[in-house]
Copies of this chain bind each other. A is one copy, B any other.
Amino acid sequence: MSEMLKFPQDNTDFNVALSTSLVLFGFDGAQLQLLLARSQREPFKDALFLPSRYLEAQDELMLSARSMFHGLFGYDEPEIIEQLKAFGGVFRHPIGRVVNVAFYALVRKDDFLAEKWEQHGMQWSPIDRIPDLAFDHNEIVAYAKERLKRRVKRRPVGFHLMPPEFTLGQLQTLYEQALGKTFDKRNFRKKLFKSPLLTDLERKATGREKGQHKGSSLFTFDRDRYQRMKSEGYDFLF
Interface residues of A (CB under 8 A from B): 1-9, 11-19, 37-41, 44, 47, 49, 51-58, 60-61, 68, 71-72, 83-86, 88-89, 91, 93, 95-99, 101, 120-122, 134
On whether the beta carbons of B86 and A53 are closer than 8 Å, the reply is: no
| A13 pairs with B53, CB closer than 8 A | no
One of B11, B71, B72, B83 near A86 (C-beta < 8 A) = B83
Given A7-B39, A54-B8, A18–B99 Cβ distance below 8 Å? yes
Between A and B, 7 residue pairs with Cβ closer than 8 Å are A5-B40, A9-B93, A13-B57, A14-B96, A60-B89, A84-B85, A86-B99
Q: Which residues of B contact A9 (CB under 8 A)?
A: 93
Contact residue among B1, B17, B60, B91 (Cβ-Cβ distance under 8 Å from A13): B17
Q: Which residues of B contact A7 (CB under 8 A)?
A: 39, 44, 47, 49, 134
List residues of chain B with CB within 8 A of the CB of A60.
Answer: 88-89
A56 in complex: contacting residue of B13, B40, B51, B98, CB < 8 Å: B13
Task: Known contacts A5-B120, A19-B8; decide if A61 and B99 are in contact (CB<8 Å).
Answer: yes
Please indicate the chain B residues that have their CB under 8 angstroms from the CB of A15 in the complex: 14-15, 57
A101 and B121 form a contact (CB under 8 A): no
Cross-chain contact B91 with A8 (CB below 8 angstroms) = yes
Inside 8 A of A8's CB, which chain B residues have their CB?
A: 17, 19, 52, 54, 91, 93, 98
B contact residues around A88 at 8 Å (CB)? 60-61, 101
Closest CB-CB distance, A85 to chain B, in whole Å?
Answer: 5
Asked if B18 and A17 sit within 8 Å, CB to CB, the answer is no
- Interchain CB contact under 8 A, A54 and B3: yes
The answer on a CB contact under 8 Å between B86 and A4 is no
A37's partner among B5, B11, B49 (CB-CB below 8 A) is B5
Residues of chain B within 8 A (CB-CB) of A38 are 5
Q: Which 10 A-B pairs have the closest CB atoms?
A: A57-B97, A86-B86, A61-B88, A12-B17, A14-B96, A85-B85, A86-B101, A14-B15, A14-B17, A7-B44
